[in-house]
Structure 1
Amino acid sequence: MEASEVKKMGYECFATYPKSLLNKGTGFLTDYTHSLNPYSGCSFGCTYCYVRQMPVSLFHKKEWGTWVNIKQEAAALLRKELARAKAKGPVTIFMSSSTDPYQPVEYSEQVTRSLLTVIAEDPPDFLLVQTRSPLVRRDIDLLQELKDRVRVSMTVETDLEEIKRAFTPNAPPIAARLKTLELLAAADIPTQATIAPVLPSSEAFAHKLRAVADRVCIDDFFMGDGSGGKRTKKLGISSLYEKLGLPEWYDPSAYQLVYDRLTEVFAPGQVLVSQKGFAP
């Protein structure tokens, strides 16, 4: 892999030159024809991220969260690949499956915005933008061009900042994510709040989400890590729950508590579970 190394914001960045960007949708993403990752690696470095156990991370041999590959000349490559894919039939894209398209490096590099520009010029049948970053609001202009062909899925795993700090200390503040959902909805951009994975939260969580979203997707380690929870188990996440004195939240039944709270305040059909909630 050709790469040049630089230091940025406490993590290492590498310029890479991929031969392709659109990957076939498989496994958890079989509802999509393709996945699209503007970067590989993610400086948010969430403790529970299943990508830590995937080849893209293991091959790099550096701690997950300490490096990011910045894909060069991505827009030109996507323009060609998207045209070819659309010539063969319907195209649905999940962006992104193994990185956050709006992680901090996107502020300067704007790879995601360049790809979104291409997508707005030649829209696929559907695009799901999966992120936990308020930076997505920067691209409201491009998202509006896609109208009902796009949905922004904003991860909000908990409403408790102390829990966020324990599990995802480098992730954006919860309040900023909720505000972003509000701004996107005001701009008529389809959105959903995504509780993935389920983390300990308060009884008020459902009401906070209902104030800014009319659709929620809920997922947990056992349904959503692609291995029935085995990848997450290897990360030793259970010990963090023990340390916090919340072992009951690391259990396949924990999501049911949050689900029941959600269905009390959301209308029927507005709360979706796991793979169904991410589908086009």
Structure 2
Amino acid sequence: MIPAYFHKYPKTLLNKGTGFLSGYSHSLNPYAGCSFGCSYCYVRQMPVSVFRGAEWGTWVDVKMGAAELFRTELQKAKAKGPVTIFMSSSTDPYQPAEHKERVTRSLLEAMADDPPDFLFVQTRSPLVCRDADLLRRLGDKVRVSVTVETDREDIRKHFSPYAPPINARLRTLRLLADAGIPTQATIAPLLPSTDKFAETLQTLVDRVCLDDYFMGDGSGGKRTRRMGIRALYEQLGLEEWYDPSAYRVVRERLLKVFPEDRVYISQAGFEP
């Protein structure tokens, strides 16, 4: 799937942290839209997608002049108090467009020069490793969270065929850790996995966040139900994984290899 790209000049970049992200002063999205187009993405049900008139995953807005605008907004925000940033809440900052457009890198360059109090980077893309030099400059003021919803590539292809392969994401966790960058693996949303998943992650990270549709889509799972995600589970005969209690199975597996204080559930795992 090749999305349509639109180059736009935003008037603002920093948004107030609210709801699920109320622990942050701001959220920051280098792009609008996301060409990974994951079937379960809750953004499909948000105004940025609903009122677009085009299928989620088929369009991407590239935010031009982002770094210059961000530098100005960051200074204003700092004058009012601590600045903690979640990047990104409604797009992947390292989706394919970033290879060429480098909007995310330009924002990290600005932050490396003038760091916020904390930056949380949420992605599922190996491209984040490209910016290890800038992430290292942020020291303990950054955490990179790499989404690894499952350890089964067949499941990944069924639910998010345009997203990076699982093995590439696992290598990304290894490379980030080797570079000394604070990282976590994020199983969100929880997808069917094997009983070896926890052991695989334990060799790569010392911190895991676990979330599902019912805790993490901002509506108790209602947004996800409206998208008909259950049908994808039925096609595989794995309906038992589409249940509010399914996360407990994976949590118990994680607790066999991780200390309890290193396994975070839902919102707690995304806090600064």
Q: What TM-score comes out, normalization by structure 1 length?
A: 0.96
Query: SS at 1:269's partner residue?
Result: helix
Question: Following the alignment from structure 1 to structure 2, what is the Cα–Cα distance between the partners of residues 171 and 43?
Answer: 9
Corresponding residue of 2:204: 212
One of 151, 157, 182 as aligned partner of 2:143: 151
Of 117, 125, 129 in structure 2, the residue corresponding to residue 133 of structure 1 is 125
1:72 alignment counterpart? 64
For these two proteins, the number of residue pairs brought into alignment is 272
- For residues 2 and 254 of structure 2, the distance between their equivalents in structure 1, rounded to whole angstroms, comes to 38
Query: Which residue identity does 2:207 align to in structure 1?
Result: R
Q: Deviations over 1:204-250 (max 9, x none)?
A: 00011111110000000000000000000000000110111000000
Paired residue secondary structure (1:141): helix
Secondary structure of the 2:86 match is strand
Aligned partner (choices 216, 227, 232) of residue 224 of structure 1: 216
- Say yes or no: does 1:255 pair with 2:258: no
Q: Give the CA RMSD over aligned residues.
A: 0.6
Instruction: Give the Å deviation of 1:268.
Output: 2.5
Distance in 2 (CA, whole Å) between partners of 1:105 and 1:80 is 24
1:166 maps to 2:158: yes
Matched, 1:266 2:254: no
1:116-131 matches, within 5 Å, as 116-131=108-123
Q: Pick from 30, 37, 45: which aligns with 1:38?
A: 30
CA distance in 2, matches of 1:194, 1:41: 21
Amino acid at match of 2:152: L
Pairing 1:108–2:100 present = yes
How high is the sequence identity, in percent, across the aligned residues?
68
CA distance in 1, matches of 2:240, 2:68: 49
Deviation at 1:10, TM superposition (A): 1.4
Could you list the structure 1 runs, at least 4 aligned residues long, displaced by more than 2 angstroms after superposition.
none
Distance 1:76 1:225 in 2: 32
Structure 1 residue 155, shift from structure 2 partner? 0.1
Normalising to structure 2: TM-score of the pair? Answer: 0.99
Q: Which runs of 5+ in 1 are unaligned?
A: 1-8
Per-residue CA deviations over 1:52-95 (Å, capped at 9, x if unaligned) read: 00000012110000000000000000000001101111000000
Letter in 2 for 1:85: A
1:57 maps onto 2:49 in alignment: yes
Answering whether residue 13 of structure 2 is matched by residue 21 of structure 1, we say: yes
Aligned-partner Cα distance in 2 for 1:249–1:268: 23
Q: Deviations over 1:115-146 (max 9, x none)?
A: 01001111011000000000000000000000
